[in-house]
């Protein structure tokens, strides 16, 4: 069966463009998922001047910025790491690719839960006072005060190294360090024991427990953003043809994949599916959909495929067709017009 749908789903005619600035380079194989929003959160895509309301399931990458207003919180999931922002926080991805997550925090509070760190992987948080590198899996909190003249780093678990004005110093588990001083001057360090958890820390711990207890982690890699949302919205079953399959149970009658959501152009990948369902990230950027359960009781099921060390992100598991020079691939070009697309089935390239 060439596709999962009998008919092509029409797209409005749009000029083709290559999916990345450098057609000879592959786009990153991972993106951060905007996984939780509470309150008023604004989003500014990289290279765009305007701010818009943030939307769940939006993939984030280099240049993307977030601002959380009063009494607001947000979570981003990178698979191996979770980034959480408290209220009145200004956050930017300076660089996000397969091996580097470099973040700018110019105001507010950021919490990072780092589950795994490869030998050639770097996670760095830059503030007006310091560049802080996470050296081990653990729980980290970085704050920049309202005046922007001091950074407070708390390491509840793990180890990190901070660099300020050419001076490097370690921050170990259960420590907190306040770094102050004008730019270009010797940093003023105030080192003490990590304080007790506040309400934001407790919120982060609740989100961590939710991931730690996820049943779906038995069937997919923990490096796949969005796996924990599958638990409360579907069930796993073993299919004789496809193996472990997840079937959504919180959908309307007649539901089908790639129907409830919208397309967005997100560089460097190109046209990207943003699903409306709270669980609609992992099943639309990894794996494949297929009809499972037999002719009489067939239903849509998501097939994640073999558990991988690091799953490879795709903007959508579909192929586009039509238009001069248009290929059924993610990286596209040729100057024609897109006329349609169809989801890829299991084992289809």
How much of the chain exceeds pLDDT 90, in percent? 74
Q: Which residues contact 22 (CB under 8 A, 6 or more apart)?
A: none
Determine the average pLDDT of the residues in 334-344. Answer: 65
**Res 50: pLDDT:** 95
**Res 331: pLDDT:** 39
User: What top-level class would CATH report for the domain 33-212?
Assistant: mainly beta
Position 306 confidence tier, pLDDT thresholds 50, 70, 90: confident
- In this predicted model, what pLDDT tens digit does every residue of 78-93 receive, in sequence order? 988 999 999 999 999 9
Position 24 confidence tier, pLDDT thresholds 50, 70, 90: low
Dihedral Cα 307, 291, 29, 25, nearest 10 deg: 140
Q: Which of 256, 252, 312, 266 is nearest to 285 (CA)?
A: 312
Q: Return the residue matching tokens 């506040």.
A: 198
Bridge partners, residue 81, by sequence? 114
The answer to whether the CB of 277 falls within 8 A of the CB of 217 is no
Position 199 confidence tier, pLDDT thresholds 50, 70, 90: very high
- For residue 124, count other CB atoms closer than 10 A to its CB: 18
Position 349 confidence tier, pLDDT thresholds 50, 70, 90: confident
Q: Which residue has the higher pLDDT, 331 or 114?
A: 114
Strands 150-157 and 122-126: unpaired
> What does pTM read for this prediction?
0.87
Among 9-23, 188-202, 283-297, the range scoring the smallest mean pLDDT is 9-23
Determine the average pLDDT of the residues in 134-141. Answer: 98
d(CA 169, CA 67): 30
Determine the average pLDDT of the residues in 73-80. Answer: 95
* One-character DSSP codes across 143-175: EE-TTSSEEEEEEEESEEEEEETTEEEEEETTE
Strands 122-126 and 100-114: parallel
d(CA 316, CA 288): 10
Domain ranges of the chain: 33-212, 217-315
- Determine the length of the chain: 349
d(CA 50, CA 42): 10
Average pLDDT over the chain, rounded to whole?
87
Determine the average pLDDT of the residues in 105-124. Answer: 96
Determine the average pLDDT of the residues in 236-263. Answer: 93
d(CA 288, CA 227): 15
């Amino acid at each position: 069966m060439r596709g999962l749908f009998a008919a092509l789903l029409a797209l409005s005619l749009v000029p083709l463009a290559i999916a990345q600035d450098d057609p000879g380079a592959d786009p990153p194989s991972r993106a951060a998922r905007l996984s939780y929003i509470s309150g008023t959160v604004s989003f500014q895509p990289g290279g765009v001047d305007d701010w818009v309301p943030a939307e769940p399931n939006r993939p984030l990458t280099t240049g993307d910025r977030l601002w959380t207003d009063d009494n607001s919180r947000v979570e981003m999931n990178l698979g191996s790491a979770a980034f959480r922002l408290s209220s009145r926080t200004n956050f930017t991805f300076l660089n996000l690719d397969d091996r580097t997550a470099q973040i700018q925090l110019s105001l507010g509070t950021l919490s990072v839960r780092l589950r795994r760190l490869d030998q050639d992987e770097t996670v760095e948080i830059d503030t007006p006072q310091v560049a802080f590198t996470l050296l081990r899996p653990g729980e980290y909190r970085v704050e920049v005060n309202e005046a922007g003249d001091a950074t407070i780093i708390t390491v509840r678990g793990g180890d990190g190294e901070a660099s300020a004005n050419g001076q490097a110093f370690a921050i170990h588990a259960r420590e907190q360090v306040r770094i102050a001083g004008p730019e270009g001057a010797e940093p003023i360090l105030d080192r003490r024991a990590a304080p007790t958890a506040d309400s934001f820390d407790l919120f982060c711990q609740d989100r961590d427990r939710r991931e730690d207890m996820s049943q779906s982690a038995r069937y997919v890699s923990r490096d796949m953003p969005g796996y924990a949302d599958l638990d409360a919205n579907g069930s796993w079953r073993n299919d004789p043809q496809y193996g472990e399959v997840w079937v959504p149970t919180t959908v309307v009658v007649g539901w089908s994949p790639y129907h409830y959501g919208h397309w967005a152009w997100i560089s460097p990948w190109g046209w990207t599916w943003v699903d409306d369902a709270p669980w609609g990230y992992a099943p639309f950027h990894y794996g494949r959909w297929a009809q499972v359960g037999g002719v009489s009781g067939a239903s849509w099921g998501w097939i994640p495929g073999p558990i991988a060390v690091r799953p490879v992100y795709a903007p959508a598991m579909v192929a586009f067709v039509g238009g001069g020079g248009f290929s059924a691939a993610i990286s596209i070009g040729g100057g024609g017009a897109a006329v349609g697309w169809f989801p890829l089935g299991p084992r289809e390239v």
